[in-house]
């Protein structure tokens, strides 16, 4: 990851794809503070597994089928 000022990115705009290929990610700053993050489009993102998602969630205190039945009965 590389930090680049707005002035620098303007002058390097014609070479931004080379910069992204080399660095992978570029943070654009204004007066030293980050204002944008530029990432390559073709960077593959891992697809999270459903198992990991389910394991990261706390179980409901009441089973979902019971909640659905309650809503049906009330409506």
pLDDT digits (tens, 9 = 90+) for 39-70: 888 767 788 899 998 899 998 899 999 999 99
Looking at the DSSP bridge assignments, the partners of residue 28 are 4, 36
Query: Is 20 a residue whose pLDDT tops 90?
Result: no
Mean residue pLDDT of the chain comes to 89
Run of H or E residues at 42:
none
pTM of this prediction?
A: 0.52
Length of the chain: 75
Tokens of 30: 């204004």
Q: What are phi and psi of 27, to 5 degrees?
A: -100, 125
Look at the block and give the residue holding tokens 């570029």. 26
Of residues 41, 45, 44, the one with CA closest to residue 17:
41
pLDDT at 13: 87
Which token pair is 24?
């992978």
Q: Which domains does the chain have, with CATH numbers?
A: 1-41 (3.40.1620.10)
């Amino acid at each position: 990851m590389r930090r680049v000022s707005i002035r620098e990115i303007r002058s390097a705009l014609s070479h931004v794809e080379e910069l992204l290929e080399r660095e992978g990610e570029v943070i654009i700053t204004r007066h030293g503070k980050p204002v944008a993050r530029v990432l390559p489009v073709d960077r593959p993102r891992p697809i999270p597994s459903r198992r990991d998602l389910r394991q990261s969630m706390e179980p409901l205190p009441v089973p979902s089928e019971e909640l659905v039945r309650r809503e049906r009965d009330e409506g």
